[in-house]
């Protein structure tokens, strides 16, 4: 049995699953993808496994097979629900698991984003987070008509470093957006609400603060219209593939997810992230940055069955599955071996992408989780009530309380 620091586990939910042909798999529920019941069932299954959090994918345009250009395919899932509204819908139906919607920060005002995630934190009783996402696709800007985004070339789309350098201004804007959101969350002190009916005082105005943010992208005075969230600061989760987003994570995130394809790549990215944290002078004791590796997983109990299933799905899709993340096929025990090996390199946890829903999510919760528990590497149940608690992050005080 393995004993030591325990692994954090998260799952990324996306439509029928991360394989393009997942909606055609046995047991898939394509007719229910846009129903609350479908997502409630997935959240309940993830919570059964005591996972730390779920992420909900989101886009500003239809899904497509290639980043650089639209496609006209009709044999893959197209269309999605708003991630924040979906998380708010399932929040009252769950009680422990963290809910982390993806939110576009290129075309969303940070004031709206701040109150939306704060509201989700209230609806979930302290289990909200969010994943800021830039709008890398030129077509997305046309939905709003206020700006343009440079179109990526085919060469750039194949190289994460080229993409990141080309989109560096969007990452700078995203960093400002996250900073505005964080300040808005702090703009109400924790005890700003008095609610004293006898004296007629509902709030203490001295405990509400203007944030007075001035930057090249935003000018926001504040305060928020929503009182400080239950967690104070809901965790910010970023996805990073290259040096520019590693720097973004070092400055703005609480959790960074990245996509190595082997043990050597895992160690290399961890060193890059650590270097970015050191350059920023971040106090990792006061503000730790948790590092999660991503894997796209297809799991079956019988050896070889997951690889056979992937081959059938590849045939339906007309091409072998390709992903920015490592693709794993095998048994839950084999995946446990891999996770423990990678965890020993310095990872805090993993965000797993189920190839087919609900099949591979159930394989995680009912196969992988018990296997990790047998090895002493995953908790038996929830010990904390908030997402920050699951992740071992302390609840920060409002930055404005000390100034007052």
Higher pLDDT, residue 388 or 63? 388
pLDDT exceeds 80 at position 226 = yes
Question: Three-state SS across 13-59?
Answer: ECCCCCCCCHHHCCCCCHHHCCCHHHHHHHHHHHHHCCCCEEEECCC
What would the mean pLDDT of 273-302 be, rounded to a whole number? 96
> Omega before 223 cis (within 30°)?
yes
Split at pLDDT 50, 70, 90, the class of 245 is very high
Among candidate residues 129, 140, 131, 80, the one with its CA nearest the CA of residue 107: 140
Q: What is residue 193's predicted lDDT score, i.e. its pLDDT?
A: 93
| pLDDT at residue 51 tops 90 | yes
- What DSSP line would sit under 104-165, residue for residue? ESSSS-HHHHHHHHHHHHHHTTS-B-BEEE----HHHHTTT-S---PPPPHHHHT-HHHHHH
pLDDT at 120: 98
The pLDDT of residue 63? 74
CA distance 282 to 288: 8
pLDDT of residue 332: 98
pLDDT at 270 over 90: yes
pLDDT band for position 403 (cuts 50, 70, 90): low
Task: Decide: 245 and 139 in contact? Cβ < 8 Å.
Answer: no
Beta strand 219-220 with 213-214 is: antiparallel
**Nearest to 205, CA basis, from 218, 189, 221:** 189
Calculate mean pLDDT across residues 251-278: 97
Three-state secondary-structure class, residue 173: helix
Q: 348 falls in which pLDDT band (50, 70, 90)? A: very high
Residue 329 token pair? 């096929």
- Give percent above pLDDT 90 in the chain: 83
Confidence of residue 1 (pLDDT cuts 50, 70, 90): very low
Question: Given this model, what pLDDT does residue 373 score?
Answer: 98
If you average pLDDT over residues 3-21, what whole number do you get?
A: 91
Distance separating alpha carbons of residues 112 and 207, to the nearest angstrom: 21
- Reported as a pLDDT band with limits 50, 70 and 90, residue 4 is low
- Mean pLDDT in the chain? 93
pLDDT surpasses 60 at 322 = yes
CB 76 within 8 A of CB 21: yes
Give the residue-averaged pLDDT of 341-358. Answer: 98
Q: 135 near 121, Cβ under 8 Å?
A: no
Q: Mean pLDDT across the stretch 30-55?
A: 97
Domains of the chain: 8-170+235-399 (3.20.20.30)
- Condensed to tens digits (0 to 9), the pLDDT of residues 67-122 reads 656 677 888 888 899 999 999 999 999 999 999 999 999 989 999 999 999 999 99
pLDDT at residue number 2: 46
């Amino acid at each position: 049995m393995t004993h030591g620091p325990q692994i954090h586990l998260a799952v990324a939910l996306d439509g029928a699953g991360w394989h393009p042909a997942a909606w055609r798999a046995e047991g898939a529920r394509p007719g229910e993808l846009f129903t609350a019941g479908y997502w409630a069932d997935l959240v309940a299954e993830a919570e059964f496994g005591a996972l730390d959090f779920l992420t909900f994918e989101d886009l500003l345009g239809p899904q497509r097979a290639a980043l650089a250009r639209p496609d006209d395919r009709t044999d893959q899932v197209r269309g999605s629900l708003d991630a924040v509204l979906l998380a708010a819908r399932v929040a009252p139906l769950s009680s422990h698991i963290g809910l982390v919607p993806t939110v576009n920060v290129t075309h969303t005002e940070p004031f709206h984003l701040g109150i939306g995630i704060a509201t989700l934190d209230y609806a979930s009783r302290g289990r909200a987070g969010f994943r800021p996402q830039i709008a890398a696709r030129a077509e997305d800007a046309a939905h709003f008509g206020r700006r343009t985004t440079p179109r990526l070339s085919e060469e750039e789309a194949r190289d994460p470093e080229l993409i990141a350098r080309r989109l560096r201004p969007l990452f700078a804007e995203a960093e400002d957006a996250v900073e505005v959101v964080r300040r808005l969350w702090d703009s109400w002190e924790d005890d700003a609400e008095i609610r004293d009916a006898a004296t007629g005082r509902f709030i203490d105005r001295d405990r509400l603060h203007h944030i007075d943010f001035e930057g090249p992208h935003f000018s926001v005075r504040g305060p928020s219209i929503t009182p400080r969230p239950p967690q104070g600061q809901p965790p910010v989760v970023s996805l990073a593939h290259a040096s520019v987003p590693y720097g973004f994570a070092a400055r703005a995130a609480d959790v960074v997810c990245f996509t190595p394809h082997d043990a050597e790549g895992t160690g290399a990215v961890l060193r890059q992230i650590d270097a970015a944290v050191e350059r920023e002078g971040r106090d990792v004791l006061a503000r730790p940055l948790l590092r999660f590796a991503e894997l796209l997983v297809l799991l079956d109990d019988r050896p070889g069955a997951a690889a056979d299933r992937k081959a059938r799905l590849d045939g339906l899709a007309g091409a072998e599955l390709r992903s920015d993340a490592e693709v794993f096929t095998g048994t839950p025990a084999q995946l446990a071996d891999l996770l423990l090996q990678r965890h020993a390199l310095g990872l805090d946890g993993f965000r797993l992408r189920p190839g087919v829903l609900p099949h591979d999510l159930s394989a995680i919760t009912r196969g992988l989780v018990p296997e990790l528990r047998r090895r002493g590497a995953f908790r038996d149940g929830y010990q904390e009530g908030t997402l920050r608690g699951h992740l071992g992050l302390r609840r920060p005080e409002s930055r404005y309380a000390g100034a007052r």
